[in-house]
Amino acid sequence: MSESSVNRPVAGVLWMVLSGLCFVAVTGVVRFLGTDLPAPQSAFLRFGWAFLFLLPTLVPLIRAGLPQGAWPLVGLRGLVHMGAVSFWFYAMARIPVAEVTAIGFLNPIIVTLGAALFFGEKLALRRLSAIGIAVIGALVVLRPGLRELGSGQLAQVVAAFFFASSYLLAKRLSGMLPAGAIVALMSATVTIALMPVALSVWVPVTLEQLAWLGLVAAFATAGHYTMTRAFALAPVSVTQPVVFLQLVWATILGAAAFAEPVDPWILAGGALIIGAISYMTLREAQLKRAGVTPVAGADKI
């Protein structure tokens, strides 16, 4: 990142705020659609839209061919991400928007552990401390033993592990392919992988539902674009804490649009998780250490 690209922190923060609003809009639309469509079918239609959006970039990419060893990783990532989005759609239709958002903040922590396990990254004391605080935050959100955990909460936890695995595979692919190619190939492989699962549970879909899922794809694409702009204008250590606003927006959306009660435990737990991630990001930026830990929000569908 050039020196000039990190001298506009206010612009970077504003782009990150907009990114958060886009991703909360994604969750809001999926929550609105509810359980009328099976989760795999909803995920298939969402990625089908993305596949159409990105088709012009896929044709020349496939014609040019991929580096040796890339196709197995691309295929594996498609399968893993298919699991992630299926569980996410299932959870989103069944538990509050804020709770889905808070649990989703665990993804960078899981990636940190995966990077140590599979890539040999060292877990320094600051990383271990951040992981410990984030785990406490997750327990505050979930409160096992103090309330009954339903299938929605469990599905979102499973989705977090799948999203983290998908990110680790993307990091492996990043040494072989440009970022745009990785995104386009993910959309194609997830669509293909979801097709037989979606067809096995298919129910009639209306034009209105198709339009809403197209809007989901558009908001998700806009969210990734605005996040990229934020990273180009300001250091991650500046933009990362802004991610917590997603939980604020999600709480407001859930209360205003779906009459979901404001749960202070979810806000507190989410704050602990994001605080841990932000501390880890800031410390590593100060020490100029490279890593594969993603920023919170980078795993969005």
Average pLDDT, the chain: 87
Q: How many Å apart are CA 8 and CA 219, to the nearest integer?
A: 25
Least confident of 95-99, 224-228, 263-267, 283-287: 283-287
pLDDT, position 295:
61
pLDDT-derived band at 286, boundaries 50, 70, 90: low
Name, in order, each residue with C-beta under 8 angstroms of 1's C-beta and a sequence gap of 6 or more: 232, 235
> Has residue 298 got a pLDDT over 50?
yes
Stated pTM of the model: 0.85
Helix axes 151-173, 97-104, angle to 10 degrees: 40
Name, in order, each residue with C-beta under 8 angstroms of 139's C-beta and a sequence gap of 6 or more: 269
Q: Which two tokens stand for residue 232?
A: 């180009």
